[in-house]
Chains A and B, each alone.
Chain A
Amino acid sequence: MKKLFKLILILSLFSLNSSQIFAAEKVDYLKTDWSFKGLFGKFDRATLQRGYQVYTEVCASCHSMKYLSYRNLSEEGGPEFSEAAAKAIAASFEVKDGPNADGEMFTRPGKLSDKFVMPYDNVKAAQAANGGAYPPDMSVLVKARGGGVDYIYSLLQGYEDPPSGVTLDDGVYYNKYMYGNKIRMAAPLSDGIVEYGDGTNASVEQMSKDVTTFLMWAAEPHLEARHQMGFKAIVYLIILTILVYFSMKKIWSRVESEV
């Protein structure tokens, strides 16, 4: 009984922290089943590819993703576009390069090794174009928000008319999942705003799920490798622990004491 009590004490040390993270906003986020959760969680390729489409056609006009390269799009564990497709995607962007032998800067089509082209040259330019609010870089966005994927997923669907008594300034919108409920981003998604190549119905809910999955991959490109290795590592450790336990019992049987 006392051992159990001690165990609970130790575990409560850990639960402290999660309560600390979510203490600030006690909001019930919208739930959906994420394929990447759990011991064997993986990304769904089609979802990631659709998510990339939503990102590039909707989000990318304001939000950068500066830590990703076009080559990542064809890498294992990601959307896994074919290399040719990734090359074509890269080539569809103009990349500033240089200086060349004449000392001139020039633009050229993107290559796989290029980082995602940013919509604005710098933070100031982004702020100027967005009424003073900086659209955050999306590379690690899901890890940079307390509620993670559930928060982003909910936020995208959380736009509604402000309740009576709430006045909004120009260029400010009401979102029930946003911290403080006021957001400078207009509702980015509306039904059919993108046309999916695979025929999936582009509802707001569907697009939210797709793009949030894509953002999860962007923030954790090695998530699948991590889950696979984690399972193997833990199974290995458990087997080794059992073997060591019996060795220990055998060794300690030589003395009149228990372990």
Chain B
Amino acid sequence: MSDHDYKPKSKVGQWFNDRLPLLTLANHLTDYPTPKNLNYWWTFGGILTFCLITQIITGLTLAMHYIAHADMAFESVEHIMRDVNYGWLIRYIHANGASMFFLAVYIHIFRSLFYGSYKSPREIIWILGIVIYLLMMAAAFMGYVLPWGQMSFWGATVITNLFSAIPLVGEGIVTWLWGGYSVDNPTLTRFFTLHYLIPFLILGLVVLHIWALHVPGNNNPVGIDIKKPSKDTVPFHPYIVIKDGFALLMFMIVFAFFVFYTPNILGHADNYIEANPMVTPAHIVPEWYLLPFYAILRSVPDKLLGVVAMLSAILILAALPWLDTSKIRSAVFRPLYKQFYWILVADVLILGYVGAMPAEGLYLLIARVATAYYFLHFLVILPVLGFKERTLPVPLSITEPILGGSPNLAAARHRESKIK
């Protein structure tokens, strides 16, 4: 990297940069050598940054009008929807923005799973990502409580009650979380406080996530280490900026469609009924992005073990760099892993589906099988596959298959065509 050679042109710039090297940072970010074969699945990092900033800006605006009080929260949301100038727009962007954020983060995570981006030397990037994901779930859950509708109230009750599964201190912890003996005003005000705090924690972690990324540089669809800068790379600006921008615009069209034409389809109708501690909704369902974990929770008959299973399902991801024993990163060169990858995708989708259904009969059975498979994938299949799988020949560089010289040119060309 050319960071160290960078010198601002103007005297003022040099004076400033010697004292605070912001210009060096800007230069690093624009020159950052990026593999030139990144496909569109790599654009979701930028899209996620957009989502975070959108959520923070709309959230700040909403917080100026929202009242975090059990008696007034629901009414203040209606005030935003009716009387605040463009309040409906800001709220619908924020509410659908959460869903778009999770859509993007799931694509981002599954991209990483497919191309082995979590493997050495990128374990820290991956673990930071898992922490960000956990914080996102916490923020989304608490945000959903704020309108103080029926699903807010009962969702909060169900989720916080999970802590009561902890032996001995569980009940005490729940009372402490609630700030009383049921979900009530103290719960709402602290959830609001934390909902306001967490995005800034995420923002800080995103900075670390990107920092950690810029040490080894991006992984790429071929999954090989590349020389930087070289024929295999392009500077971040303008090449990646314009490509990310293009992908972001496509994403925004989908986003806009939800906001303007079906703003409530991703929410639950019951949340337009004001919270009522005396009436329990027929089905208490979390938002779609939490459904796979909800299915895992309910598939275990014991409450404590269910909570353990649900948390493990997320935390197991943090151990992924060590569970996956294969030296080859990209699934492109791992014919067996590629198949198991798509089975895992299907498994998670099935878990999401049964998570939305009542936990009984066939749905419960499917949930149990899918939960068992989920853990089987990470704990058995991945470690074993690394030793057993016969991988395909990997090219020596990104340009090599194009320029020739590979020991197995035909195979490399074939692979290359599949990447695109």
A interface residues, Cβ below 8 angstroms from B: 9-10, 12-14, 16-21, 23-24, 39, 67-68, 72, 136, 139-140, 143-146, 148, 179, 219-222, 226-227, 229-231, 233-234, 237-238, 240-241, 244-245, 247-248, 251-252, 255-259
Contact = CB atoms under 8 A, between A and B. Distances in A.
Given A140-B272, A247-B242, A258-B420, A16 B291 contact: yes
A237 B88 CA distance: 20
A217 B250 CA distance: 31
A58 B107 CA distance: 51
Nearest to B272: A144
A222 B269 CA distance: 19
A234 B258 CA distance: 11
A230 B260 contact: yes
15 contacts: A13-B288, A14-B266, A16-B356, A20-B291, A21-B265, A21-B268, A72-B82, A139-B78, A222-B81, A222-B82, A222-B88, A229-B260, A234-B257, A234-B260, A256-B399
Contacts of A251: 238-239, 242
Contact of A144 (B103, B260, B269, B352): B269
A136 B273 contact: yes
A248 B242 contact: yes
Contacts of A20: 285, 288, 291, 356-357
B245 interface: yes
Contacts of A16: 288, 291, 349, 352-353, 356
Contacts of B107: 10
A112 B266 CA distance: 35
A16 B288 CA distance: 8
Contacts of B242: 244, 247-248, 251-252
Contacts of B190: none
A256 B231 CA distance: 9
B234 interface: yes
Contact of B89 (A23, A146, A229, A258): A229
A256 B402 contact: yes
A150 B358 CA distance: 24
Contact of A143 (B269, B291, B399): B269
Nearest to B282: A24
A146 B270 CA distance: 8
Given A226-B260, A251-B238, A244 B245 contact: yes
B31 interface: no
A23 B353 CA distance: 11
Contacts of A219: 272
Contact of B246 (A23, A179, A229, A245): A245
Contacts, number: 123
Please report whether the interface of chain A is mostly helix, strand, loop or mixed according to DSSP. helix
A258 B39 CA distance: 9
A233 B250 contact: no
Interface string B71-97: 000010011011000001100100000
Contacts of B103: 10, 13
A9 B349 contact: yes
Given A9-B349, A67-B82, A233 B269 contact: no
A226 B356 contact: no
Query: Which of A14, A146, A219 gathers the greatest number of chain B CB atoms within 10 Å?
Result: A14
B78 A230 contact: no
Contact of B345 (A9, A136, A220): A9
A252 to B, nearest CB: 6
Nearest to B288: A17
B88 A13 contact: no
Closest CB pairs A-B (n = 3): A230-B260, A20-B356, A144-B272
B266 A17 contact: yes
B252 interface: yes
Nearest to B287: A17
A234 B89 contact: no
A145 B270 CA distance: 7
Query: Which of A229, A245, A248 gathers the greatest number of chain B CB atoms within 10 Å?
Result: A248
A68 B75 CA distance: 11
A10 B352 CA distance: 12
Interface string B317-349: 000000000000000000000000000010001
B265 A17 contact: yes
B265 A39 contact: no
Contacts of B20: none
B207 interface: no
B226 interface: no
B289 to A, nearest CB: 9
